[in-house]
Amino acid sequence: MGGTVAQEPDGGDVSVGQLLLAEYQVVKDEQKTRIGFRDNLLYVTLTVVAAVIAATAQAKQPAMLLALPPVCVVLGWTYLVNDEKISAIGAYVRGDLGPRVAQIAQLPAADKVFAWETAHRSDARRRSRKAIQCGIDLLAFCVVPLASLIVYWASGKTSPGLVGLSVVEALTVVGLGVQVVVYARPFS
């Protein structure tokens, strides 16, 4: 790989190409870490939901279900932010880093550098996978907490203050649901 050369502190040379490949490794490591963290958030959410439902059933206190919406919103938002950063890293590699590496390497086709970054996006079932994932995200982070609110409201063991709180929670969950759909871009 050619390109201009910078002097290392120990007197060695570092090419721009080497710097770009090092940057690629760093952003891919960050992406990998974020993918693991994001995916674990679904498991954490399922665990919390199961624990709250079990505790609610055992204590026979429907008001305990009001813990689910804020927890699911926080976990869902964290999931969404990490998912967006994962996508942003991929877009950066495809749209910026890859073409710069191709230019320095004097390759004729910039899309051949880091080809996986574009190849996996051209799968014929990508749209359906994204739509299904959007549905799963909505189920885990929005439908479950909304269902817990419905169970609370239908329980007959409500109080005016908690009903007010639950309405705010419902609006927050709906807001998260809108963001899940907006960020999913299932048809892009």
Q: Nearest 5 degrees, angle CA 185-CA 187-CA 188? A: 70
**Per-residue pLDDT, 176:** 98
Domain residue ranges of the chain, discontinuous segments joined by +: 17-184
Evaluate if residue 11 carries a pLDDT over 60. Answer: no
User: What token pair was written down for 35?
Assistant: 């993918």
3-state secondary structure of 103: helix
How far apart CA 138 and CA 51 sit, in angstroms, is 20
User: What token pair was written down for 151?
Assistant: 């169970």
How far apart CA 93 and CA 48 sit, in angstroms, is 35
Summarised one tens digit per residue, pLDDT across range 72-98 is 999 999 999 999 999 999 999 988 998
| pTM: predicted TM-score of the whole model, two decimal places | 0.85
Q: What is the mean pLDDT of residues 2-23?
A: 71
* Residue type for position 184: A
